[in-house]
Amino acid sequence: MRKIKRFIQLGLSIILMGSLLLFDNGSGYADEASVTVKKGDTLYSISQKYNLTVRELKEFNGLKNNTIYIGQTLVLPVLYKPEQMYSVVGGSFSKKDNAKKQVGKLKKEGIDATVTTKVINDKTYYRIQAGVFSKKANAEKQKKLLQKNGVKDAYIATYNTLHINGVHLGSTYNQVLQQFGKPMKTEDHLNIRSLYYDGDGAGVRVNFNMKDGSVFGLQAYPEYLKLRNLPIQKNQVINEYGYPNKVQKVSCYESATCGQYIYQFNKNELIIQFDRDGKTVQYFDLRKMH
């Protein structure tokens, strides 16, 4: 079973290939998210100072026991809040053609609009989206413009940037380490770095932008992670991300059928695949939309 799942991981990794960038193991950490061990420090004293548990410190730093030494750098788990964005939406149609007609009218008025979908309790609804903004004031202006042009129920929906455990596209490698912890080992294959935490499979695979080192592809496999705050059941996924934009069935290992929730926002896409039981998360895959 694990060999088959590792095969799935390798296949997904190939999708992320697109540039070549080599990394040194143990890349430097951000000062505000790490601590240097001083004389008299213990894991317990450090954990108390930063409101953590000894277990969290050990997991985030790949420590097998409680031994630390003076001058050692320990990563502190820092929760990064995904950036909030404001989307202007309106309408809720059961038929896509009705939403497309409304979008056509808006485009004639010079308003850049598109049709978006949302799957709620296995039923697909079609909505109009007219822009995503980082400033709410700009979203307010766009909402009034839509209302003026016939979309009376236009409103502003607040969304977090799509992320996996607080890491979003554009994050740094340091933030990956701070959110997932320091791995037991890493492996580089072309431009993909695999981070190993628990078992023989990679818990995280990450792809970086060649120009600035920012993350532009991220995969996470809960089976090989020890994180307790990562949603691993379908109901937890909905609580964390809301209802998906799309739902689909795909073939997975042993000729089985697995389900996927697909979230799309601001030209990014998060695919969450569930195991054959239809409930347990198999993997997360965050990428740019094609």
Determine the pLDDT at residue 126: 96
Helix and strand numbers (H, E) in the chain are: 7, 16
**Per-residue model confidence (pLDDT) at position 59:** 75
What pLDDT sits at residue 30?
Answer: 32
What is the pLDDT at residue 248?
96
**Residue 77 pLDDT:** 67
DSSP result, 48-86: HHTT--HHHHHHHHT-SSS---TT-EEEPP--PPPPEEE
CA angle 81, 220, 273 (to 5 degrees): 105
User: What pLDDT score does 132 carry?
Assistant: 93
What pLDDT score does 76 carry? 76
Distance CA 232, CA 58 (A): 22
**Whose CA is closest to 271, among 256, 255, 252?**
252
Closest CA relative to residue 178, chosen from 11, 23, 15, 35: 35
Domains of the chain: 2-30+165-288 (no CATH), 84-160 (3.30.70.1070)
pLDDT in tens, the chain (290 residues): 554 454 444 454 444 333 333 333 333 333 346 789 999 999 999 888 877 778 878 877 878 899 999 999 887 766 556 678 999 999 989 999 999 999 999 999 999 999 999 999 999 999 999 999 999 999 999 999 999 999 999 999 998 899 999 899 988 887 888 889 888 899 988 788 999 998 889 999 999 876 777 899 999 999 999 887 899 999 999 999 999 999 999 998 778 899 999 999 989 999 999 999 999 999 999 999 97
pTM over 0.75: no
